[in-house]
Amino acid sequence: MDFLLTSNRAMAAIMREHGYDITYRESGGAHNYTTWRNACIPTLEHLFA
Question: What separation, in Å, do the N-terminal and C-terminal C-alpha atoms of the chain show?
Answer: 28
Domain coordinates in residue numbering, the chain:
2-48
Has this prediction a pTM greater than 0.85? no
pLDDT in tens, the chain (49 residues): 678 899 999 999 999 999 999 999 998 878 889 999 999 999 999 999 8
User: What distances in angstroms separate CA 29 from CA 1, 3, 34, 38, 47, one per listed residue?
Assistant: 10, 14, 8, 10, 21
Q: For residue 42, what are the CA distances in angstroms to 6, 10, 13, 20, 23? A: 24, 23, 22, 21, 12
